[in-house]
C-alpha cells in the first residue's frame, strides 16, 4: 500500500488527503496546529469544501492527522501544501516551505518522492527545496526524487475538484516526473507531465496572472463605461455570446483569495530581481485592481450625495464580506479595504454575511446585524460586495432606500459599478 504524508491540512492539503485516501492510499495529514489535528481526528472539518462526514469517512479509510514529522519515515510520497504568503519584499515568503523541508529532511528515507504544491516563483523547487532535503545526507536523483505539482484547488467550486482537475507535474529530473505522475494517477483522472519543475511552477503563475490581468481589464472598463453612461454588465453579456476568442470576466470591488491578488507578484518580483526589468502587465493590473475598493467608496459618496446625504454619518450596510460567493473564506477579501475606508470617512458601517459570524478589519470589529431585513430598511445605503446565493435580491431591493450592487446581479433597479 502506498503511504502519503501531506504537509499542511488547509484548503489545499486536506482535499488532497481526502482524494488520496478515497483510493486506498494510507494518508497522514501533517499540520503543526494542534487544534486542527485534534479537530480532524475527531471527524470535524475546518474548510468549506469538505463536510464533517467527509472527514469521518477519511478516518475510516485510514487517514490520520498528526503534528509529528517522524511519520515521514513511513512515506513513499510527501506533498508540501503550506502557505506562501506575500513577503515584505514583494516576493513569496518561503518560511513555511523552508521550515517544512528542514523537518522532512530530518526523517527522509531512501526511495521517497517529495512534491511541492505550494505556489512560488520558478526555480524554488530545484534551487531551494532540493538542497534543504539533501541536508538529510541523501542524494537527490539517486536516493530520492523531487517534483513540483501546482495546486489548482478552487474553493466553493464543486464542479471541479482534485480528481477531475488535470494535474500538472514537473520533476527536477525525468525520474522525478515519472514518479510523481504514477502517484497522482492513482486518484486524479488526468495527469499532465511537463518538461520540468520550472515549467510547472511558471504554468501556475501564468494561470493566475491571466486571470489577474483580465479582471483588471474589465475593472478599468467598468469605470470608464460608467462615465460614458454605458452598462458594462450588458456589454459583457453581449461579448460572452461569442463562442470563440472571448472568455467572460466580471468586474467587482477588487480581487481576493490567496491566488489572484498575490501569485502574479511572485512572478513580477522574480523577473525584476533576476532580469532587472519590470513585468509591466502585472504591475498595471495590480494598480488597477488595488484601486477598486477606493473607487467603490467614491461611488458610494456620489450615490449618497445624489440623495443629499454625506457619507460622514450615513449608515452603510455591507452584504457579503468573503472573497468568493457561498463560502466562508475571507482571505484577502476586498471587503476589508472597502470597509476600512468607509469607517475612516465617518460612515456608520455594519455587515451581514450568512457565512461569517464575526468580522474584524484593521480599525476593529464590525457589528453583524441580527435582523437583515430591519437593517436593510434602516440603512442609508446597502452595499453588495459578495453575491451569496442565500441573498434574496428582489426582497433586498424592495426594502432598501439605496442599493449599490458591485457584482451585477441585483437587476436594473440597483446602482452598479
Position 192 scores a pLDDT of: 98
At how many degrees (to 10) do helices 197-227 and 232-239 cross? 130
Asked if 81 is an active-site residue, the reply is: no
For 124-138, write each residue's pLDDT tens digit.
Answer: 999 999 999 999 999
Q: How far lies 354's CA from each of 331, 357, 368, 388, in Å?
A: 16, 8, 10, 8
SS3 for 191-246, per residue? EEECCCHHHHHHHHHHHHHHHHHHHHHHHHHHHHHHHCCCCHHHHHHHHCCCCCCC
Mean pLDDT throughout 290-308?
A: 97
Position 404 scores a pLDDT of: 97
Cell numbers found for residue 367: 457589528
The answer, yes or no, to whether residue 88 has pLDDT greater than 90, is: no
On whether the pTM is more than 0.85, the answer is yes
**CATH architecture label of 292-416:** 3-Layer(aba) Sandwich (3.40)
Nearest to 81 by CA among 170, 17, 8: 8
The answer, yes or no, to whether residue 412 has pLDDT greater than 80, is: no
DSSP state of 163: T
Contact residues for 216 (Cβ-Cβ < 8 A; gap 6+): 284, 285, 286, 288, 289
Q: How confident is the model at residue 74 (pLDDT cuts 50, 70, 90)?
A: very high
For 19-35, write each residue's pLDDT tens digit.
Answer: 999 999 999 999 999 99
Distance in angstroms (rounded) separating the CA atoms of residues 4 and 80 = 11
Residues of the chain with CATH 1.10.1040.10: 204-288
Position 267 scores a pLDDT of: 80
What's the mean per-residue pLDDT of the chain? 94
The answer, yes or no, to whether residue 105 has pLDDT greater than 80, is: yes
For 323-372, write each residue's pLDDT tens digit.
Answer: 999 999 898 899 999 999 999 999 999 999 999 999 999 999 999 999 99
The answer, yes or no, to whether residue 255 has pLDDT greater than 80, is: yes
The highest-confidence range among 13-17, 92-96, 323-327, by mean pLDDT, is 13-17
The answer, yes or no, to whether residue 378 has pLDDT greater than 90, is: yes
**CATH architecture label of 204-288:** Orthogonal Bundle (1.10)
Q: Does residue 92 contact residue 121 with C-beta atoms inside 8 Å? A: yes
Mean pLDDT throughout 80-102?
A: 89
Position 274 scores a pLDDT of: 87
Residues of the chain with CATH 3.40.50.720: 3-196, 292-416
Active-site option among 259, 282, 375, 385: 259
Strands ordered across the beta sheet of 403-405: 359-361, 364-368, 348-352, 315-319, 381-384, 403-405, 415-416
CATH class of the domain comprising 3-196: alpha beta
Mean pLDDT throughout 209-225?
A: 95
Position 298 scores a pLDDT of: 97
Q: How confident is the model at residue 157 (pLDDT cuts 50, 70, 90)?
A: confident
The answer, yes or no, to whether residue 263 has pLDDT greater than 80, is: no
Mean pLDDT throughout 60-71?
A: 97
Q: Does residue 148 contact residue 201 with C-beta atoms inside 8 Å? A: yes
Amino acid at each position: 500500500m502506498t503511504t502519503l504524508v501531506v504537509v499542511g491540512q488547509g484548503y489545499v492539503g486536506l482535499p488532497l488527503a481526502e482524494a488520496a485516501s478515497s483510493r486506498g492510499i494510507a494518508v497522514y495529514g501533517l499540520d503543526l496546529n494542534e487544534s486542527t489535528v485534534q479537530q480532524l481526528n475527531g471527524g470535524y472539518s475546518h474548510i468549506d469544501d469538505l463536510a464533517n462526514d467527509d472527514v469521518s469517512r477519511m478516518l475510516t479509510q485510514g487517514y490520520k492527522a498528526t503534528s509529528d514529522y517522524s511519520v515521514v519515515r513511513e512515506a513513499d510520497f510527501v506533498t508540501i501544501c503550506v502557505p506562501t504568503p506575500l513577503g515584505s519584499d514583494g516576493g513569496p515568503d518561503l518560511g513555511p516551505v523552508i521550515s517544512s523541508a528542514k523537518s522532512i529532511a530530518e526523517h527522509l528515507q531512501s526511495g521517497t518522492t517529495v512534491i511541492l504544491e505550494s505556489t512560488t516563483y520558478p526555480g524554488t523547487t530545484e534551487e531551494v527545496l532540493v538542497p534543504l532535503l539533501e541536508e538529510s545526507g541523501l542524494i537527490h536523483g539517486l536516493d530520492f526524487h523531487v517534483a513540483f505539482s501546482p495546486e489548482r484547488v478552487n474553493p466553493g467550486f464543486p464542479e471541479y475538484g482534485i480528481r477531475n482537475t488535470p494535474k500538472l507535474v514537473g520533476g527536477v529530473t525525468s525520474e522525478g516526473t515519472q514518479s510523481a505522475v504514477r502517484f497522482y494517477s492513482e486518484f486524479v483522472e488526468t495527469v499532465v507531465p511537463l518538461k520540468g519543475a520550472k515549467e510547472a511552477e511558471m504554468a501556475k503563475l501564468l494561470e493566475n496572472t491571466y486571470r489577474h490581468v483580465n479582471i483588471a481589464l474589465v475593472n478599468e472598463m467598468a469605470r470608464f463605461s460608467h462615465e460614458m453612461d454605458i452598462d458594462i454588465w450588458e456589454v459583457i453579456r453581449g461579448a460572452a455570446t461569442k463562442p470563440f476568442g472571448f472568455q467572460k470576466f466580471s468586474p467587482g470591488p477588487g480581487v481576493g483569495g490567496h491566488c489572484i491578488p498575490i501569485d502574479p507578484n511572485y512572478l513580477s518580483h522574480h523577473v525584476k530581481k533576476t532580469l532587472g526589468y519590470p513585468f509591466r502587465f502585472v504591475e498595471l493590473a495590480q494598480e488597477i485592481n488595488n484601486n477598486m475598493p477606493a473607487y467603490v467608496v467614491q461611488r458610494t459618496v456620489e450615490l449618497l450625495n445624489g440623495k443629499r446625504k454625506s457619507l460622514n454619518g450615513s449608515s452603510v450596510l455591507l452584504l457579503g464580506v468573503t472573497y468568493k460567493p457561498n463560502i466562508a473564506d475571507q482571505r484577502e477579501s476586498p471587503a476589508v479595504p472597502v470597509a476600512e475606508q468607509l469607517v475612516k470617512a465617518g460612515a456608520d458601517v455594519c455587515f451581514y454575511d450568512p457565512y461569517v459570524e464575526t468580522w474584524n478589519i484593521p480599525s476593529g470589529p464590525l457589528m453583524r446585524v441580527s435582523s437583515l431585513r430591519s437593517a436593510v430598511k434602516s440603512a442609508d445605503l446597502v452595499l453588495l460586495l459578495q453575491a451569496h446565493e442565500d441573498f434574496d435580491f428582489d426582497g433586498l431591493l424592495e426594502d432598501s432606500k439605496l442599493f449599490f450592487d458591485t457584482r451585477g446581479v441585483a437587476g436594473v433597479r440597483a446602482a452598479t459599478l
